[in-house]
Amino acid sequence: MKILPFFWARVKAWFAFYWKRYKARPAALRRAIRQCKFKYQETGKRHKVYFLQNKYQVLTRDDIQRNKHKKVFADYVNCTKMEPMAFFDTATMKPSDFAQKLLNAKNR
């Protein structure tokens, strides 16, 4: 019995959806914010939390430049253009509005 490729595509899409949802949970954001504050205390540099490549990442300006040179990010990407995507910034030491809504959301 041959299983249709359409079936496997749906299984893969279902798995990808729930994997991304798991990685974007509020607990993972809280962990990234804690890590961001810790790195800021260690180095004194400005750190921000972004949701990139299906996970929360703590990046500095130097990390963004390094990823740009490695061709992970496009050439036109810079810190200013990534500012609206930041969930947390050590300059303000508070989550953005949409991150605050995510952290305060109840389980549905």
Asked if pLDDT for residue 36 goes beyond 70, the answer is yes
The mean of the pLDDT values for the chain is 90
pLDDT in tens, 42-63: 999 999 999 998 899 999 999 9
- Model confidence at 7, pLDDT cuts 50, 70, 90, reads confident
| E strand intervals along 1-108 | 48-52, 55-59, 88-89, 94-95
Q: What is the pLDDT of residue 107?
A: 54
> What confidence tens digit (pLDDT) does each residue in 95-105 have?
999 899 888 87
The phi-psi region of residue 20 (left if phi > 0; otherwise alpha if psi is between -120 and 50; otherwise beta) is alpha
Under 8 Å CB-to-CB from 68, ≥6 apart: which residues? Answer: 74, 75, 77, 78
Answer whether residue 108 shows pLDDT above 60.
no
